């Protein structure tokens, strides 16, 4: 897979009533390395969802460019929203097959269901799933299309802590078996440290890059809560500014 280049010179939202137009993003440049897991952190309302929608190609009203590898190639996207957006009249398996269309491979879907521990629920309708299971289906659906970049917009916020931990662990298992480039938005510094190779801190509106930090904890140690907590304290201590961003 290729690196993904994001260069947003400016993103304005139109004026509402007498307020002038709103500059949401200004001069934001990011390069996502192939198969890198990046967590974006920034204050509520700073423009993170706006950025993901631009990268996803859902919003073309901006100045700048997004491309994977060669300049002319738009990245193929998998998008996991806060709400899993499953079609209620389709089973789990049908919800996954739908995004694959003609490319649907029974073996690939079988193995994704197995890793996410949903094999026994594949013929169930979404209303019978718990919140955590619905998130797991949304993750499978996004991985199934084998995207250049997986976008995840605070996907675990509505889950209780033990369920969020379980889904995070399953996500990491899947990601280590099938590495992909991930852009994951979260408010939760601890979650970001568990998941990311690199943390990117973003400013309040107009959103722009502040700084980035590589997470030095080995993947095998990411379940070690005291290592995660120690690094979180170190970050908050070394960079007090972070407290104002979360
Ligand atoms: P975040 O995801 O970081 O919380 P958003 O990207 O949702 O932030 O929003 C960034 C800013 O852009 C906010 O001030 C928000 O009010 C504004 N905004 C978002 N969507 C629209 C829209 N469709 N029209 C006008 N302003 C918007
Ligand atoms: Mg948002």
Rounded distance between C-alpha atoms, residue 241 and residue 246, angstroms: 10
What is the residue whose two structure tokens read 């089973």?
91
The predicted structure's pLDDT at residue 29: 97
Ligand 2 geometric centre to CA of 119 (Å)? 31
pLDDT 10s digit of each residue in the chain, 246 long?
A: 788 999 999 999 998 877 789 999 999 999 999 999 999 999 999 999 999 999 999 999 999 999 888 777 788 999 999 888 999 999 999 999 999 877 778 899 999 999 999 999 999 999 999 999 999 999 999 999 999 999 999 999 999 999 999 999 999 999 999 999 999 999 899 999 999 999 999 999 999 999 999 999 999 999 999 999 999 999 999 999 898 888
The predicted structure's pLDDT at residue 104: 72
C-beta of residue 12 within 8 angstroms of C-beta of residue 40? no
The predicted structure's pLDDT at residue 87: 96
Pocket lining for ligand 1, CB < 6 angstroms: 13, 22, 24, 42, 44-50, 205
20: number of Cβ within 10 Å: 9
Which residue from 8, 15, 42, 46 has its CB within 8 A of the most atoms of ligand 1, so it is best to mutate?
A: 46
Rounded distance between C-alpha atoms, residue 223 and residue 158, angstroms: 21
**Counting atoms of ligand 1 from 1, which one is nearest the CA of 50?**
6
Q: Residue 12's beta-bridge partner residues?
A: 23
C-beta of residue 161 within 8 angstroms of C-beta of residue 91? no
**Counting atoms of ligand 1 from 1, which one is nearest the CA of 154?**
2
What ligand has the least distance to the C-alpha of 207?
1
Strand order in the sheet with 63-68: 22-32, 4-13, 63-68
The predicted structure's pLDDT at residue 31: 95
The predicted structure's pLDDT at residue 52: 97
C-beta of residue 153 within 8 angstroms of C-beta of residue 134? no
Domains parsed from the chain with CATH numbers: 4-245 (3.40.50.300)
Q: Helix H segments across 198-240?
A: 225-238
The structure's pTM equals: 0.94
The predicted structure's pLDDT at residue 103: 72
- Nearest protein Cα to ligand 1, atom 13: 45
């Amino acid at each position: 897979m290729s690196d993904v280049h994001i260069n947003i010179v400016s993103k304005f939202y139109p004026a509402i009533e007498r307020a002038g137009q709103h500059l949401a993003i200004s001069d934001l440049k990011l390069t996502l390395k192939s198969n890198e897991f990046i967590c974006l952190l920034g204050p509520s309302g700073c423009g993170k969802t706006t950025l993901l929608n631009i990268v996803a190609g859902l919003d073309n009203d901006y100045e700048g460019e997004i491309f994977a590898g060669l300049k002319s190639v738009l990245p193929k996207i998998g998008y996991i929203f806060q709400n899993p957006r499953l079609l209620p009249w389709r089973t789990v398996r049908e919800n996954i097959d739908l995004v694959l269309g003609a490319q649907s491979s029974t073996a690939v879907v079988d193995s994704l269901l197995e890793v996410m521990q949903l094999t026994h629920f594949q013929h169930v309708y979404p209303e019978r799933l718990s919140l955590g299971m619905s998130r797991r289906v949304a993750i499978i659906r996004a991985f199934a299309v084998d995207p250049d970049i997986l976008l995840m917009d605070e996907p675990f916020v509505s889950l209780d802590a033990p369920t969020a931990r379980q889904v995070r662990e399953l996500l990491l298992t899947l990601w280590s078996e099938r590495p992909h480039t991930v852009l994951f938005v979260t408010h939760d510094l601890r979650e970001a440290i568990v998941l990311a190779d690199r943390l990117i801190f973003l400013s309040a509106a107009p959103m722009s890059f502040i700084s980035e930090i590589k997470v030095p904890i080995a993947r095998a140690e990411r379940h070690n809560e005291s290592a995660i907590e120690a690094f979180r304290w170190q970050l908050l201590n070394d960079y007090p500014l972070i407290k104002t961003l979360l």
